[in-house]
Every structure is written in structure tokens, then in C-alpha cells.
Chains A and B, each alone.
Chain A
Amino acid sequence: MAASGMVIKRGKSSWLSHIGMIIGVIIVCFPIYLAFITSTITPEQVAHPPMPLLPGDQLLHNYQQAFFSGINAPVWKMLVNSLVMAMGIAVGKIMISLLSAFAIVYFRFPLRKTFFWLIFLTLMLPVEVRIVPTYEVIANFGMLNSYSGLILPLVASATATFLFRQFFMTIPNELAEAARVDGASPMRFFWDILLPMSRTNIAALFVILFIYGWNQYLWPLLITTKPEMNTIVMGIKQMFPVGGEVPDWPLIMATSILAMLPPILVVVCMQKLFIKGLVDSEK
């Protein structure tokens, strides 16, 4: 009743709530707007308050410089690194957790429950707790400063396994049996039936995991020492000068804006799949 009332209601209260929401949006967006303004002016303008609130004329220059040369490494290189890492983590996590959930739900093997709870237990340990031994392992494998070193320690995912397990358990058992009567092997059933049925779940997880991978900070900071292996999120931090020098704010802000674009793109693109999944529910 309240919801339909809100749609029909006109007049003052509607305007008030709109004003409230507009203020909220301004509060959230203003820092990002400021970052964008900063990326379009000269370093001198930043250093001499008051800061302008309208875009300057340095946009092309700043972005060109950031994109192609940067401070330690060109931004395009860092973007590529981040993209490889985020994609690797998202795709890797989804593949591994799909397969392990498939095993846990559809096969009877000794210690099945134990394995599930072992996987589940790792949820309790954040990356930071096991970061020293993990570093040791990766260093011994000679994976420092490599994509595999960036991706592999982060691909196992208890959360995703758990999610797929729950989803598979809602699929009626008769479906697996029907496939068996149809002569489908277990892997065939996985490919032809489970995978297509999970695609909305996969899309949702992909968005979350891509952003998770993109925003990794601590792990890349430890594992990469060469600037050309930096990921963009940690790369921004690396752009700050070590001594008392004035940081090149326009360049840093241009990099920040560039770093925000891919996650936004992923969310916007995948949103369509999301909504599609919500509207035509299967089952």
C-alpha cells in the first residue's frame, strides 16, 4: 500500500523526498567530481587555493601523460595488469567453485561433508591472516612479479562454492535423474544442464568477484616489486613521492578516474543480465 501510495502521491512531500535524494547524490558524487576537476587543471592551480570548481583546459594533456607515461609505470600497463588479475580471479574462482560445488552436491565420496566444511572453514580466515605463509609459498615457486603469483593465491573461494552448493541443492533431483535416463554422463549433465541454469548466478558472482579482484591492494603490494607489474589500485599509492615533494595531483587524479572506469563498465554491462535473470525466473 505504501509503495503504490508513493507512486501516486504528488505535491510537496514528493518534492521534499526528491530534494533529500538529490542532496544524497550530491554528497556521494562531489568527491568524484572534485577528482575529475583536479585531473583537468595544472599542478599549480591545485597548490594555490581556492581550487576551481569548473573543469580546466588540461584534460587531454593530463590524461595523455597519465595513460602513456605515468609516474612509475604507464597507466595503460597497470590497467592491463589489473584487468588480467581481476579477470583471472573472477573466472578462476567461478570455475573452481562451480566444479567443487558440483562434486559436493552430486557425488557421494568418502569425507564429502568433511571436505565441504574444510572449504567452509577457510571463510573464517581473511587473506591478511595467511598472508605471510602464502607469500612464502609463492616466493618459493618463483612466482613473484608474475600474473600467476597475483592470481593463484586468490582463486579458491569458499563463498562462491557455498553459493553454488546452495543453488544446486534447489535444483530438483529428478533433473539429474532425467539426464541420467537420457544417457548423459555426469560432466555432460554439468555442461548441458547445470551450467546454463546457473548463468544468472554466474553473472552476479562475476560482478562481485571482478570488483573484489580489481580492488585487491595488499596482495599485489607484497608480490610485485617491478613497476611494470603494478596493478592500478596499488599503483595510485605508488605515485605519491617518497620525500617531501609535492605530489602531482592532476596526474594522480586522472589515474584514479581511469581506475574507476572498468568496474563501472562491468557493473553497467552485467546489470542487464542481472535484471534479465530476475525477470524471467526459470524453474
Chain B
Amino acid sequence: MATISLQNVTKAFGKNNVIHGINADVKDGEFIVIVGPSGCGKSTLLRMVAGLEIITDGEICINNKRVNELEPMERDIAMVFQNYALYPHMSVFDNMAYGLKIAKIPKNEILQRVNTAAEILQLQDYLKRKPRELSGGQRQRVAMGRAIVRKPAVFLFDEPLSNLDAKLRVQMRLEIKALQKELGVTSLYVTHDQVEAMTLADRMIVMNAGNADQIGAPLEVYNDPQSTFVAGFIGSPPMNFLNNLFAQNQQLDSSAQQAIDRLLTDLPTEVSATLQQQDNDNLTIGIRPEHLSLCEPPTAHLIGKVKYTEPLGAETLLYIEVQNQQTITLRQAGDIEIPAAGDSCFIRVNTALICLFDSKGKRIQI
């Protein structure tokens, strides 16, 4: 049971700054997912909390105690590694018991704790096996078991599911979530998979090139992204970005011009006001694929041409080229008729849900 606080945490390898000051507070029992593309510093951040990397600047506190100088073991954490890092020559039992043996916990208590963990993870039948005799999912469970038996204050997960196949990943994801809720242990979880992040997190930290772009609950981040990076990274397919939609000097035919004018009048007044206030050439309009729909010509906001389609059964993704050679994605329900590639199409925008971003990609709040 623990809280974690990161205060202006910075990491530099030599002169190379990889993490530029991260602030975050984690409440007791919270499941925090750190998500970002590879190389954004998310694993480094986790390893700094674990004590495997030295903290260049700033402070990490677990339960309000500064842990910067403590060894991993003294921080009361347990970590699950991407490649599981099981000791290959030890049985499953010994793998799980190793940390307890070092901590000089009495034998019968070790036995009891490992058996309890094995029961939770359904590993009772495998305790005598070596890691190489287990499947990927079982190894993953052993790695989790090793973390559980220590009864740590904090769980740290470093992309624990990325070595598993897609089906198993979904199953283990649910198991991890259930386990964390059951044990109520504060957890930090690193992943590059935004679906994992969305499904697991109580709150998530979206990282971009060493910065925390946004911290918030998954749906809050999804519905209210603070930057074009977050909007593009969270959600699949990503948010559509449109530039120069209302520029004056475009060569548009009359129907397209009518559509654009209709869009401008249909936008919430605050949005259109902002668009007129500023030099609107530099603004980016963001709209989620599911907030677009096909419509009849008289109500269209955008006119485009279908490039190709992806019918996924439950839903269909349409890739449509609109003005200025910009391609947007439209998501519609699977039972709606699918236009053929090359067809002209008319798109209606759910204007209330438009996001505006400035030239640096920051969200303009309206």
C-alpha cells in the first residue's frame, strides 16, 4: 500500500537528456499506465522508480519517503520484466521463493506464500518445473508470482505482455487487471500499446520524447487530448487532423465551397470565433473517425473521394481524400452500406466534438 510521487524527475545519459522533468502523483492502490512510442523514455522512467537507473535530478518518493539513494530491494517494490527474467536453472518454486530466501523469511512462511501465489495464478501443478518447460503465458505468470510473493508496496511492469501472442495478451491483460484490483497494490505499468493502456489504466501518463504530454483517466485523455501527439497516439485509427480548411485562396468548386461554408456556420460559436480571431492558417482541426459520417449532399460539411475501405465486420473504416490532398479516416458501423473505392462521398462532421490545436500542436481550450 503506497503512494508514489515524482517531482521534476530528470534523466540524462552523459549530455543526452532523455527525460525532461516529470511530475506525477500516484494515489494508493492506483493502476497507472505509462504509454508512449518506443524511445520516449517510459521504460527509463520505470527503471528510475525501480532503482535500476540513477536519477539525474528531481525526487522520487514512495510513501512520502525519498528513495533516490535506496537500492531496489529497500524500496519495497517488485518488478515484472518484458522477457520475464526468470532464473533458468531454478524451478518455478525456487524462482518465486528466491527473493524471500534472501530476505531470510522462515521456510514455512515461504512455502505458504509461494503456494498462495501459485494458487492465485493457477501454477500449482508447475512448481517443480523449470522455466524452459513452460509456455510463454505460464512464464509470464511465474514472473508475476515472483512479484506477488514479496508483498511489495508497488508493482512495476515493464511491457510484460509484449512477448506474448495477441490472443494470450488479451487474456493476460484481463488477469493482470483483476489481480491488481484484488490485491490493491499501487502499480506502474509501461506499454507502447495504447489498447493495453486504455483497458488497464486508472490513469495514464502519455509520454512523448521525454515529456509527460498528458496525465489523466483513459477516457478523459481520449475525449480531451491536450496535444496533437496525444490525440494521434491514443485511439486506433488515430484522430484526423485537417489544416488550412478555411483558407481563402483555395480553388474549390461551388459545391465544395458550399460545404465548407456550411461547416463554418455549424461550428460552435466559440470555435468559429477562435478560428476567425487567430491566423487560422496555423490552426489544426482534430476530429475522431467516429465523429464523421456519410450523408446526403445538401447536409455535407466535407466532400471527398473514397481511396480505400477496410471492412472489419462490426465496423468499417473508410479512407477518404478531401481537399488539399488530405486523407481522413471515417469509422462507421459495419451494417451501413460501404461505398466503392473511387466514389465521391459527402461527409458530415459532429461539430460539437471538434478539437482545435495551435501551430505547436497544443490544444486550444474553448
Residues of A within 8 A of B (CB): 172, 174-175, 177-184, 188, 192-193, 196-197, 280, 282-283
Cβ of A282 and Cβ of B89 under 8 Å apart?
A: yes
**Chain A nearest CB: distance from B148 CB in Å?**
13
Cβ of B98 and Cβ of A192 under 8 Å apart?
A: yes
- Given A282-B132, A283-B88, also A177-B102 (CB < 8 A): no
**Chain B nearest CB: distance from A278 CB in Å?**
15
Cβ of B102 and Cβ of A188 under 8 Å apart?
A: yes
- Compute how far the CA of A172 lies from the CA of B86 in the bound complex, rounded to whole angstroms: 10
Chain A residues near B198 (CB, 8 Å)? none
- The chain A residue sitting closest to B74, CB to CB, is A183
Cβ of B52 and Cβ of A177 under 8 Å apart?
A: yes
What does DSSP make chain B's interface, helix, strand, loop or mixed?
loop
Cβ of A183 and Cβ of B89 under 8 Å apart?
A: no
- Given A180-B72, A181-B78, also A174-B132 (CB < 8 A): no
> Could you give, for residues 60-89 of chain B, a 1 whenever the CB lies within 8 Å of some chain A CB and a 0 otherwise?
000000000001110001110111011111
Residues of B within 8 A of A (CB): 50-52, 71-73, 77-79, 81-83, 85-89, 98-99, 102-103, 130, 132, 146, 150
Partner of B85, one of A172, A280, A282: A172
Cβ of A183 and Cβ of B88 under 8 Å apart?
A: no
Interface centre among A178, A188, A283 (most CB of B within 10 A): A178
Partner of B89, one of A172, A182, A196: A196
**Chain B nearest CB: distance from A202 CB in Å?**
13
Interchain Cβ contacts within 8 Å, total number: 65
- Compute how far the CA of A184 lies from the CA of B51 in the bound complex, rounded to whole angstroms: 14
- The chain B residue sitting closest to A184, CB to CB, is B102
**Chain A nearest CB: distance from B217 CB in Å?**
29
**Chain A nearest CB: distance from B189 CB in Å?**
16
Partner of A182, one of B52, B82, B102, B132: B102
- The chain A residue sitting closest to B88, CB to CB, is A282
Cβ of B79 and Cβ of A181 under 8 Å apart?
A: yes
Chain A residues near B132 (CB, 8 Å)? 280, 282-283
- Compute how far the CA of A183 lies from the CA of B78 in the bound complex, rounded to whole angstroms: 10
**Chain A nearest CB: distance from B192 CB in Å?**
18
- Compute how far the CA of A258 lies from the CA of B99 in the bound complex, rounded to whole angstroms: 50
**Chain B nearest CB: distance from A235 CB in Å?**
42
- The chain B residue sitting closest to A175, CB to CB, is B85
Chain A residues near B150 (CB, 8 Å)? 182
- Compute how far the CA of A282 lies from the CA of B102 in the bound complex, rounded to whole angstroms: 24
Cβ of A197 and Cβ of B99 under 8 Å apart?
A: no
Chain A residues near B87 (CB, 8 Å)? 175, 178-179, 192-193
- Pull 26 A–B residue pairs with CB atoms less than 8 Å apart, ordered by A: A172-B83, A174-B81, A174-B82, A175-B85, A177-B52, A177-B72, A177-B85, A178-B79, A178-B81, A178-B85, A178-B146, A179-B87, A179-B98, A180-B71, A181-B50, A181-B51, A181-B79, A182-B99, A183-B72, A188-B102, A193-B89, A197-B89, A280-B132, A282-B88, A282-B130, A283-B88
Return the 4 tightest CB-CB contacts between A and B, nearest first.
Answer: A183-B73, A182-B99, A174-B85, A178-B85
Partner of A183, one of B50, B86, B103, B130: B103
